[in-house]
Amino acid sequence: MTYTNVDQVTANTAAGLALDAVEAAGHGHPGTAVALAPVAQLLFAHHLKHNPSNQDWSGRDRFVLSCGHASMLLYAQLHLSGYQLSLDDLKNFRKAESLTPGHPEYGHTVGVEMTTGPLGQGIATAVGMAWAQLSLADRFDPDYENSPLKSYVYVIASDGDLSEGISSEASSFAGLHKISNLIVIYDDNEISIDGNAKASFNEDIVSRYRAYGWHAVGVNQTSDGKIDIQKLDQELVAARKSDRPTLIALRTSIAYPSPNMTGMAATHGSPMGTAEVAATKLALGLNPDEFFQVPALAMENKRQVMNRGAELQQSYDQEILAYQNRQPSLAKQFHQLGNLDISSLSIPVFSLDTQIATRKASQQVLEELAKLPQLVGGSADLSESNGVAIKSLPIYHGVNSEFGDLAGRRLLFGVREHAMAAFCNGIALSSPLRPFAATFLIFSDYMKPSIRLAALMNLPVTFVFSHDSIGLGEDGPTHQPVEQLWSLRATPSLSVIRPADANETAAAWVEILNRNQPAAIILSRQNLPVITENPSVRNGAYVLYEPKKSPQVILIATGSEVQLAVNAAKELESNGLYARVVSAPCLEWFDEQPREYRDAILAGAPKIAIEAGSPVGWYKYVGSDGVVLGVNNYGASATPKYLFEKFGLTTENIVQIAKQLLD
Ligand SMILES: Cc1ncc(C[n+]2csc(CCOP(=O)(O)OP(=O)(O)O)c2C)c(N)n1
């Protein structure tokens, strides 16, 4: 048993800090932070491989607090483990500009490995994190079982996390692939906001996880209602030896050891009040009259955890040296993963006037990009359709699979869009790999919460969405995206790129890789003529067709509608009317350009925007006197030709509207 008196006092101190911080803020979530303080202490002091003096140590284990509302659990633990998070930071819990916001924020607070709060995201993202670590060990160290490249991912998840559908998708995937370096502690406290969680969520979690193929065990409380820390400690050791992911269903009581409020849902999301806080502090062996107290033994914990961290990193450094001697060539490749270099690739160039769907062009580009060792990803059971059945990217089949390849880089996600997106976030969070996640654009809605988190954390995940409009045809309105483009464009920090043709598609991929930011590339199902050469996609929008005389009207279009705009401009010109065509593959990149550039392209003439999707956001570009040709309703099961005509997305209609506008 490793849990000492120092641990006990530190855990009690952490619980006291959580109580005081929530009380000082006047709001927050004390119950779980108080109850699970011993669990966090056990992890941070004895199980996690981490070094508080070097939070960026690439060999560290990851800890994900999936139930992000219990943020004080993490903040208190980080402080008491010696991370750069001061007592004053804890005193500013939930205050503006503090390092201790309501929910943990990645990139904002030292030691926070991902932004959590939307329940279920943490556990699903952790599956991707764990896979990335396993996969790197698989690929770059033949002795992967004992490789220093393999680290563990620990998660604390709540009833809410496991109720969310995404946890099922992700856990099923983790079980299938025996992602054995993933260890989830499920806080089985039977409480959620509406009261007893069993009233809404009553399945046998251990059986459920065993059915997924996990190593799943239950740990009961001790007879006096405490968390059985000794048993948990043993189960964590066993988990690391398991050849499967592990779930430990840990029986706890929310707010324990509060004398009057233990087990009460009221402690989930509200301060417990001064009297109960004082009583709970007494039960914790703390001075009820002292706030934010850190006894000497808790300071001793800080020293011990920091020393342990330094030693762990030292021995890791030696293991890495031994690995470099053992596998000099692989080690060199491994270390170079941090430098993404596309300069030696020959990105395909497509000849004018050939016909190719942008999803197919994208696949040709990806065949070349697969030479980048960083490229990993896959589709939610639509690999061929999405253009990501990349022949040069071997499929990952996992450990002990009858199918073989362990070092593969293309994942068959099955029909699990939401988990796929979170999984890719996890890869981007925990490794230098560059993940992509593919499906039909319409099903981006199934992934939206994870796309939002990718954008919020500014992760370089690329979402590949094919079948971009009514142009997909007979599959009908359930499959025809309408509002999805503007929904994605309304997501801050996400670049949405809808290329007009194959060459714009190639240029888009190059720009996506160079930018290292979240992006969605939107691709056509149907063939499109190649109409651009060397397009300025990186500027977001550019003049594709300039009439002989000063333009009287400006046509802005994206994707499959750009060809219609070009044809319309040519026809107008033959009628003595002059139209410029602006291809606008990425409005976010265009908005970043200097004002002079944007004005040079769009100012000075009335504008018509043409896009086979909802018109809502286009008025920003065409102004109130401009016209938007879009799709104002759901499509229908019919040929693309019929549908484009039905919605007025034709050369003839553009010509007519332009004439009306000029009249
Ligand atoms: C996706 C999502 N839905 C709803 C919420 C609001 N919410 C926060 S915590 C919670 C449930 C609390 O129960 P549990 O997960 O068991 O946490 P505990 O009370 O044990 O801390 C809910 C519904 C959320 N954060 N995320």
CATH code at position 590: 3.40.50.920
| 196 in the same domain as 261 | yes
Question: Tell me, what's the pLDDT at 397?
Answer: 87
Determine, yes or no, domain membership for 603: yes
pLDDT tens-digit series, residues 355-377: 999 999 999 999 999 999 999 99
| 240 in the same domain as 154 | yes
Determine, yes or no, domain membership for 622: yes
Q: Is the CB of 30 under 6 A from ligand 1?
A: no
Q: Is the CB of 70 under 6 A from ligand 1?
A: yes
Determine, yes or no, domain membership for 339: no
pLDDT tens-digit series, residues 280-319: 999 999 999 999 999 999 999 999 999 999 999 999 999 9
Residue 417 falls in the annotated catalytic set: yes
CATH value at residue 487: 3.40.50.970
| 612 in the same domain as 548 | yes
> Considering 498, 529, 560, which residue would you say is the last residue of a domain?
529
Nearest CA to ligand 1 atom 21: 32
| 615 in the same domain as 471 | no
The residue from 417, 504, 561, 588 that is catalytic is: 417
Question: Tell me, what's the pLDDT at 404?
Answer: 58
In degrees rounded to 5, what are phi and psi of residue 655?
-60, -45
Buried b / exposed e along 133-150 (16+ C-beta atoms within 10 A) = bbbbbbbbbeebeebbbb
Which residues does 53 contact at the CB level (< 8 Å), separation at least 6?
82, 306, 309, 310
| 58 in the same domain as 26 | yes
Are the beta carbons of 126 and 155 closer than 8 angstroms? Answer: yes
| 36 in the same domain as 92 | yes
Determine, yes or no, domain membership for 243: yes
Buried b / exposed e along 274-285 (16+ C-beta atoms within 10 A) = eebbbbbbebbe
Determine, yes or no, domain membership for 516: yes
**Domain tally, the chain:** 3
| 514 in the same domain as 381 | yes
Calculate how far, in angstroms, residue 69's C-alpha sits from the geometric centre of ligand 1: 7
pLDDT tens-digit series, residues 90-143: 999 999 999 999 999 999 999 999 999 999 999 999 999 999 999 999 899 988
Determine, yes or no, domain membership for 335: no
Q: Is the CB of 65 under 6 A from ligand 1?
A: no
Q: Is the CB of 452 under 6 A from ligand 1?
A: no
| 546 in the same domain as 525 | no
Cα separation of 651 and 578, whole Å?
15
| 552 in the same domain as 520 | no
352: burial class by Cβ within 10 Å (0-12, 13-18, 19+)?
exposed
Q: Which structural domain range is residue 640 located in? A: 538-662
> Considering 243, 277, 310, which residue would you say is the last residue of a domain?
310
Nearest CA to ligand 1 atom 19: 192
pTM beyond 0.85: yes
| 469 in the same domain as 542 | no
Residue keyed to tokens 């764990």: 130
> What distance, in Å, lies between the first and last C-alpha atoms of the chain?
86
Peptide bond before 606: cis, by omega within 30 degrees of 0?
Answer: no
Where in 348-407 does DSSP place strands (E)? 355-357, 375-379
- CA torsion sign for 440, 176, 232, 77 is negative
Angle, in degrees to the nearest 10, between helices 71-81 and 5-25: 130
| 272 in the same domain as 202 | yes
Query: Per-block average pLDDT, block size 10, for the chain (663 residues)?
Result: 92 98 98 98 98 96 98 98 98 98 98 98 98 94 90 98 98 96 98 94 97 98 96 98 97 98 96 98 98 97 98 97 97 96 96 97 98 98 98 84 73 98 98 98 98 98 98 96 98 98 98 97 98 98 98 98 98 97 98 98 96 97 96 96 97 98 91
Nearest to 229 by CA among 244, 214, 251: 251
| 556 in the same domain as 432 | no
Calculate how far, in angstroms, residue 256's C-alpha sits from the geometric centre of ligand 1: 18
Other C-beta atoms closer than 10 Å to the C-beta of 363 total: 23
pLDDT tens-digit series, residues 504-558: 999 999 999 999 999 999 999 999 999 999 999 999 999 999 999 999 999 999 9
Q: Is the CB of 32 under 6 A from ligand 1?
A: yes
Cα separation of 624 and 618, whole Å?
10
